[in-house]
Amino acid sequence: MRTETPVTLYLKDYAPPAWRIESADLHVAIHDDHAEVRARLDCVRNTAGGDDALVLNGEALELVGLSLDGAPLDPARYVYGDDLLRIAGPLPDRCVLESVVRIRPDLNTQLSGLYRSQDGYFTQCEPEGFRRITFFPDRPDVMTKFSCTVEADRARFPHLLSNGNPVAAGVCDDDAARHWARWDDPYAKPCYLFALVAARLDVLEDEYVTASGRKVRLAVYVEPGKLDQCGHAMAALKKAMRWDEERFGLEYDLDQYMIVAVGDFNMGAMENKGLNIFNTKYVLARPDTATDADYQGIDRVVAHEYFHNWTGNRVTCRDWFQLSLKEGLTVFRDQEFGADTHSRAVTRIQEVRALRVGQFPEDVGPMAHPIRPASYAEINNFYTATVYNKGAEVIRMMHTLLGREAFRRGTDLYFARHDGQAVTCEDFVAAMQDASGIDLAQFRRWYARAGTPRLNASSSYDATTRRYTLTLTQTLAPTAYEKRLTESGQAIVDGTLHIPVALGLVLPNGNDAPLKLAGEAEASGTTRVLSLTEPTQTFVFEDIPAAPVASLLRDFSAPVQLEFEQTDAELAHLMAHDDDAFNRWEAGQRLATRVLLAGIAAQQRAALMRHTLPHAGEDDSWRGAGSDWIPDAFVAACGRVLDAGLAGDPALAAEALNLPAEAVLAEAVVSLGQPIDPEAIHAARVALRRHLAARLRDAFEAAWAALTPTAAYAPDGAQVGQRALRNACLGYLAESDVEYLQSAVVPRLTAQLAAGGNMTDGNMTSQMAALATLANLDLPEREATLADFYTRWQNEALVVDKWFAVQATSRLPGTAARVRALMQHPAFDLKNPNRVYALIRGFCGANPRHFHAFDGSGYALAADVISELQAINPQVASRIARSFDRWRQFDAGRQAHARVALERIAEIEDLAKDVAEVVGNALKG
């Protein structure tokens, strides 16, 4: 039987719940092959005249017993089918429902609900996992006070944890080998924030005193033996708690804050009230096992989950369409935390890079949606870059329009109004508007409109009147989202957006001009935020002494694609003089993109001349197009960036020397209306790197030597920046000719790897830089080094993940076959999400040239994995399936292969709903 199209849910159909659950008392007893869950729910009728029946969600539950107000329920009064338990009326307005169910956590490979990982039991309930634990109205607008008793074997599961505060514990009366612990959470919460853990763990404890003087016990629980890897997470937690008090006036509210790390987890971490459950990737770190990026990831994710305690838990979402209410806002908060604790400019650059690689493509693909989608089939498919990262950009635009102080008044008002409630995105915007007096009516359209707006700019300068005139035009083309809505008869929101455009005018002498708009009495400031609220608007600036170079969208003030003709010389001027660090970087990226687009065209011409189709087996295709298309001025600009980095901010220089990613270049090609040619993109980018390596070799060598570390490893901003630039130099040097590689580069790479454990240069950041570089080189040292690395690290799961990932992302021919071989490696496990993300998402998502191989081998590999994985873990399978998003933007040959792969998945019997929605949309196009 072919899978049916999954049922679509619509925001417009929202209705309040017919019943509330005032309190819930759970008893979860974990046994060898099952768990028994007893639940006592205090049910209260919510809407007069609503459905008289009491309808609860329940998935994969074995019903053992049901009673109502103390009496066993007559089986004729209820039915359990299609994942719903329906208890027929008449029912009193208040009643107590008691249920007993059995579940099978050991067989739960979806990792949603209660599941087993290694030797412990863990939960994941957001968004709809609680219904896999017990019967409940599993929707976020039902807020309930929970208490929970966890019971399990004493020796095997010494730690029994749940939300809130511990209130009692003991040994079971009837079985001295078992024990129990009772937890009580005083705050009402939606059931998606419920959690429990039963496991043997080591714990790092600490204490935090809140601004108002309350003591909080902090605890990080990890697999035994890993205590030496918890310190950074604990430090990050304390920093985040202090920061939220200072920046947002928000304090923690329970006596305990616990973080539990688990090796099998579908995403990064989960903000369960008082009991966060984390992927080990975002907890464990030691200098020799974690990279600088890992350390920063831990900072950000620990902070993010902590910040959810207010933005998500105390004030939660009315329904899952409002997901961005908590996610966009919390990402914005963790971004600001990152900016305040590291470098603001570098943080912003990295965020925008991630937006361009992850979110912009979503807007042009088959799953396009606004930050608040009007419909979905499987909500798990909407934990996306759009909801999270574009959601954060929308919050940031309000911050830009209101300014920091008014924004803070807005969040204060939001919490004052809505603490303890489940609300909508409208409520957030209303608080911002009411607190600031700024009209956000038009701004609200950002919540409903999909797609990346284009911002076209044109300008002129009149030397006689000293006027500078800037005309801005916005356009937003329909996406696949509007098509889906139309097909299902839904209304489309359109209309002009309110776009904040931060602008500066850089004069020929490098200084910013003071900005005075026509009609203003005097100039104020050198960066102004223009509100673009019409399709086209013209802004005239007066008293501009000389023709300026416009610096538009400073700090990336809006998530748009800018179309603005600027000459190479103008971009170089911005690279050198723009006051806005983000736009200095951006000018460099725009220049590089321009060069690379010329290179892509040159590669395509060269491929035609060779009368061969470029293909994955031909790794030296970059040689074909020469280097005529690379202007000397670009090389010189890179040289200056390197010098400036050594003298000033190495982290910024490392970002600037990082050429636009292949995915970003693909986007640029699509904007020109051309099909993506992954071979030409890859070849052009490699050719440019090799050219820079040849021309700037001495400078890279000198910088590499000058940045030799002298101090013991610390993941602080200064060291991180130095390592980033040093490794960038090494990466360029590794693009040298074979002779130089063999004599001067490879020995350094192997030495760097051999230094493992050495506290200055043997850190994992240096090791991975060396290993990833070697993995791209077809040299004899490659295999031996990879094998050694595995042998050395085979017992550190997170390092083994890195080992899989560097091979999956290798440039070398034959990578698809290598990935297939690695799937047979004893350390590979389709049931472990981190392994799948490392090897399979590494290949499908971060190796575009091989995934989109012209012979379809990459697509076939993905289809094979998705087919098998969808039956094991639909959420993870669905994420991998998103790799096909761009398939229609390629040439006819590749499209044909992709279609075959997608149809093969679509034909699977009982295909998981998650994958069915993604693949169905991809095929609909």
Nearest-angstrom CA–CA distance, 694 and 691:
5
Closest to ligand B3K by CB, 659 vs 916, is: 916
Q: Is the dihedral of CA 834, 839, 844, 845 positive or negative?
A: positive
Helix or strand holding residue 701 (H, E): helix 697-706
**304 part of the interface to ligand B3K, by CB under 6 A:** yes
Site string for ligand B3K, 874-913 (x = CB under 6 A): -x--------------------------------------
Residue with tokens 């990279």: 291
Among 305, 351, 761, 796, binds ligand B3K (CB under 6 A): 305
97 neighbors 173 (Cβ within 8 angstroms): no
CB closer to ligand B3K out of 330 and 411: 330
Question: Least CB distance from residue 378 to ligand B3K, whole Å?
Answer: 10
Q: Show the site string, 603-632: x = touches ligand B3K by CB under 6 A, - = not.
A: ------------------------------
Least distance between ligand B3K and beta carbon 537 (Å): 37
Amino acid at 428: F
- Beta bridge partner(s), residue 196: 162
Q: Among Zn ion, ligand B3K, none, what binds residue 294 when CB lies within 5 to 8 Å by partner kind?
A: none
Contacts for 292 with CB less than 8 Å, ≥ 6 apart: 715, 719, 720, 723, 724, 765
With CB atoms as reference, the residue minimizing the distance to ligand B3K is: 126
Is residue 104 a contact partner of residue 284, using CB atoms and an 8 Å limit?
no
383 is an interface residue for ligand B3K by CB under 6 A:
yes
Q: Is 270 in the site for ligand B3K (CB under 6 A)?
A: yes
What are the distances in angstroms from CA 5 to CA 491, 864, 898, 918? 21, 21, 20, 11
Instruction: Look at residue 677 and give its three-state secondary structure.
Output: coil
Instruction: Return the number of the residue (128 or 578) whose C-beta is nearest ligand B3K.
Output: 128
Residues 311-340 interacting with Zn ion (rule: CB under 5 A): 327, 330
By C-beta, is 233 or 683 nearer to ligand B3K? 233
The residue range among 269-277, 410-418, 573-581, 583-591 that interacts with ligand B3K, by the rule CB under 6 A, is 269-277
Catalytic residues: 305
- 236 or 753: CB nearest Zn ion: 236
Q: Residue type for 306, please?
A: Y
DSSP helix/strand/coil, 612:
coil
Q: How many CB atoms lie within 10 A of CB 655?
A: 27
The 8-class DSSP code of residue 542 comes to: -
Of 1-9, 75-83, 303-311, 837-845, which segment contacts ligand B3K by CB under 6 A?
A: 303-311
For the bound state, the minimum distance from the C-beta of residue 272 to Zn ion, rounded and expressed in Å, comes to 12
Site for ligand B3K in 115-144 (CB under 6 A): 126-127
CA distance 279 to 274: 16
307 in contact with ligand B3K (CB under 6 A) = no
Query: Which stretch, 6-14, 25-33, 266-274, 885-893, contacts ligand B3K (CB under 6 A)?
Result: 266-274
**Residue 518: how many CB atoms within 10 A of its CB?**
11
For residues 323 and 387, the answer to whether their CB atoms sit within 8 Å is: yes
Q: Rounded CA gap, 178 and 180, in Å? A: 7
Q: Are 793 and 803 in contact (CB under 8 A)?
A: yes
Minimum CB distance to Zn ion, residue 126 (Å): 9
Identify the three-state secondary structure at position 464.
Answer: coil
How would you label 700-717 residue by residue, b for 16+ Cβ within 10 Å and e otherwise? beebbeebebeeebebeb
Instruction: Count interface residues toward Zn ion (CB under 5 A).
Output: 2
State which residue, 387 or 646, has the beta carbon closest to ligand B3K. Answer: 387
Told to check if 279 binds ligand B3K by CB under 6 A, we report no
Asked if 271 interacts with ligand B3K (CB under 6 A), we say yes
For residue 126, the minimal CB distance to ligand B3K (Å) is 4
Residues in the chain: 925
CB of 587 within 8 A of CB of 578?
A: yes
Site for ligand B3K contains 393 (CB under 6 A):
no
* Interface residue with ligand B3K, options 291, 316, 350, 380 (CB under 6 A): 380
126 binds, among ligand B3K, Zn ion, none (CB under 5 to 8 A by kind): ligand B3K
From the CA atom positions of the chain, what is the Rg in Å? 28
Q: How far is the CB of 379 from ligand B3K (least distance, A)?
A: 8
327 near ligand B3K, rule: CB under 6 A: yes
Which positions touch Zn ion (CB under 5 A)?
327, 330
Which positions touch ligand B3K (CB under 6 A)?
126-127, 267, 269-271, 304-305, 308, 327, 380, 383, 875
